[in-house]
Structure 1
Amino acid sequence: MTTDTLPDRIDRARRGVAPGGQGPRPRTGKRGSPLSRAGMTLVLFALPSLVLLILLNLFPVIYSFLQSLQQGTPSTLPWETPFVGFQNYIDVLTSDQFVQSAIFTLIFTVVGVFGSWIIGLLLALLLRTRIPGGGVFKVLLLLPWIVPVVVSATSWNFLVATPQSPAPMLLAALGLGDVNFLGDPVLAQIVVCIFKVWISFPFMMMMMSSALASVDTNVYEAAKMDGATSWQAFRGVTLPIISRTTYISWVLMTIFCVNDFPTIFLLTQGGPVNATTSLIVLAYQYAFQNLQTGPATAVAFMMTAVLVIISTVLYRQIQKADVE
């Protein structure tokens, strides 16, 4: 019969030893370091990937920022070009072209985000109802998003680019005169914005469809029993429930619109008379047409700063929606 004391029994219980057994002897001596051998092995395995990620992401950012402080060309190295400090930022901010590009970028982004969101939400609500051929209809609505933007831009150029295109000829046949969609600055801006909405609404439709799928139908039944109309149920029930997904889609679409180079460049190349030159197109013109990498990277960093601010504001709205 064992004469173990209470501390011995507790020690055996911690080590998983049955009563009367000896079990593994407790370790003596100094404790090992917090980072065990297995942990060191994992760190060593992950270290090459971490170094690669730093080189692929952090190094280009630092290199570009150095270029924004210098007066160089795409073919010169930072240590071969004169240092001008923040003069590139000052020159860009005080130029008329930057102001015009910033205004058009704002218009292009607002129309692209909210235009595609409204159409996408309406179509998502429509697809929740039972309509004949709903599956085929849904696939057809995804085509503007699935088709490569080069193909879509080529098709739109065929429709509106010249006076001999189908759309201007149709308007002329209706007695509306000769309309030059891509030759008039205002019409060119309208066409570019409509084209952006057209290729973006399927993305918003998918986002809103996934959000609406999580809404419990019993909530609508309760609202209907309380006497709420369809519009009141939509405004008071649907919109608050899908607000988190809505803010996320706004953040993503804002980034897509501000950084959208092919949509504008393939349609108008920033013309006519720079009417459709967005900030990303302006940065391209600085870098590859004027061979001025300093102003180009300065524009890019200012765009990044604005996107970070907008994303932070919308992210706070996402957090509030989660709390509510």
Structure 2
Amino acid sequence: MGIDVIRNPRSETAPEPGGAANPAPPARRRRRTDGARWTAWAFLAPVVGYLAAFYAYPLYRNVELSLREYTVRSFVQGGAPFAGLDNYRTVLSAPTFSPALLNTVVFTVTSLVFQFALGLLLALFFHRHFPLSRTLRALFLVPWLLPLIVSASTWSWLLNSEAGVVNAALAVLGVEQVNWLTSPRWSLASVIIANIWIGIPFNLVVLYSGLQAIPRVLHEAAELDGAGRWQRFRWITWPLLRPVSAITLLLGLVYTLKVFDLIWIMTRGGPTDSSTTLATWSYRLGFGNLLPEFGPGAAVGNLLILLAVAAGGCYLGFERRRRLS
């Protein structure tokens, strides 16, 4: 005589106490993974398309231009003959290359040093939170907010030899007239001064943000221990501000290397190439003549890109060495 066992329908599917729930079928998990992957690609597609259209393709075209002998006709209709590295040899052997490279180095290094130093001093000054500090900080942002064509035109008027405000002020002090924009001695200094004025607000904003991130407790503790302002800056502020400073200098370097419109509006690289940089020379070769030289102009642009990449590599190497030390 058998005994019928009454089974609970839930006992076959319910997990044991403390056990895990039944996992989802493999097909369902695969569909979820595929859906998440396609969703991620859907979000990335606009960014990838933008980078390909506005960065990768122009870079490819610039390299392709530098390796062929393009004329106006072949630039429109195609069929430019392959030239290899002839355009680079032409550029490197040109008499303009040495002064343009030297001017680029002087313009970049001098601008970076003064922009960073003055920006840091102003950031430390505004970090004290005195009355009207916000208003003054906003006024210092004006050079950064103005279009470069406005800034360059303003400085051209200020430094005008005949009717400029700067020469008028120097005349009051008994100083003779200075041909800021038309003298080979002063043209490069003029565009450097204008570029420093434009770049100070960027350094001020970034370095001020870095100062805001430093805990005040560290300065208060050091002050209680008898440390002066210089000691607090040297042993607390500067070490903690170093990563922000490195990023500021790197971005400023990349930006300053490619400055073109400011120099072109103020001096057009002259007189006699005294203020010509690689950026202005590249533009003049490709678009500033009646018979444009697209190949050499593209070659100069690629050399400028290599300088920026080398600077970025130096920064990454410096950061890796600093982290390992």
Q: TM-score, normalised by structure 1?
A: 0.85
Quick one: distance in 2 between partners of 1:141 and 1:246?
Answer: 19
Shift of 1:243: 0.6
Task: Give the match's secondary structure for 1:185.
Answer: coil
**Residue by residue, what CA displacement relative to the aligned partner does 1:11-68 show, whole Å, maximum 9, x if unpaired?**
962427xxxxxxxxx748x898689552464377468644564344322222221110
Shift of 1:163: 2.0
Shift of 1:83: 1.4
Quick one: distance in 2 between partners of 1:124 and 1:51?
Answer: 39
**Residue by residue, what CA displacement relative to the aligned partner does 1:99-157 show, whole Å, maximum 9, x if unpaired?**
11111111111111121111111011111124332122111111111122222222211
Question: 1:83-122 to 2 correspondence within 5 Å?
Answer: 83-122=82-121
Unaligned runs of 5+ in 1: 17-25
Shift of 1:249: 0.6
Match of 1:20 in 2: none
Quick one: distance in 2 between partners of 1:11 and 1:83?
Answer: 74
Unaligned runs of 5+ in 2: 1-6
Do the aligned partners of residues 177 and 103 (structure 1) sit closer, same or farther apart at CA in structure 2, a change above 3 Å counting?
same
Residue of structure 2 aligned with 1:38, choices 35, 40, 44: 35
**What residue identity is the alignment partner of 2:58?**
P
Task: Give the match's secondary structure for 1:132.
Answer: coil
Do the aligned partners of residues 130 and 57 (structure 1) sit closer, same or farther apart at CA in structure 2, a change above 3 Å counting?
closer
Question: 1:199-238 to 2 correspondence within 5 Å?
Answer: 199-238=198-237
Question: 1:1-324 to 2 correspondence within 5 Å?
Answer: 9=16, 13-15=20-22, 27=25, 36-39=33-36, 41-42=38-39, 45=42, 49=46, 50-51=48-49, 53-73=51-71, 76-77=74-75, 79-290=78-289, 291-319=292-320
Do the aligned partners of residues 173 and 46 (structure 1) sit closer, same or farther apart at CA in structure 2, a change above 3 Å counting?
closer
Shift of 1:320: 5.5
Size of the aligned set, in residue pairs, is 312
Match of 2:3 in 1: none
**What residue identity is the alignment partner of 1:202?**
P
Aligned residues of 1:183 and 1:272 also touching (Cα < 8 A): yes
**What residue identity is the alignment partner of 2:178?**
V
Match of 1:21 in 2: none
**What residue identity is the alignment partner of 2:68?**
Q
Structure 1, 304-313 or 48-57: larger mean CA deviation: 48-57
Do the aligned partners of residues 167 and 55 (structure 1) sit closer, same or farther apart at CA in structure 2, a change above 3 Å counting?
closer
Quick one: distance in 1 between partners of 2:220 and 2:37?
Answer: 58
Aligned residues of 1:255 and 1:307 also touching (Cα < 8 A): yes
Quick one: distance in 2 between partners of 1:128 and 1:47?
Answer: 39
**Residue by residue, what CA displacement relative to the aligned partner does 1:254-287 show, whole Å, maximum 9, x if unpaired?**
1110111111111111111111111110000010
Do the aligned partners of residues 171 and 42 (structure 1) sit closer, same or farther apart at CA in structure 2, a change above 3 Å counting?
same
Quick one: distance in 1 between partners of 2:169 and 2:66?
Answer: 48
Structure 1, 256-265 or 176-185: larger mean CA deviation: 176-185
Do the aligned partners of residues 14 and 139 (structure 1) sit closer, same or farther apart at CA in structure 2, a change above 3 Å counting?
same
**What residue identity is the alignment partner of 1:15?**
N
Task: Give the match's secondary structure for 1:172.
Answer: helix
Do the aligned partners of residues 74 and 239 (structure 1) sit closer, same or farther apart at CA in structure 2, a change above 3 Å counting?
farther
Aligned residues of 1:184 and 1:272 also touching (Cα < 8 A): yes
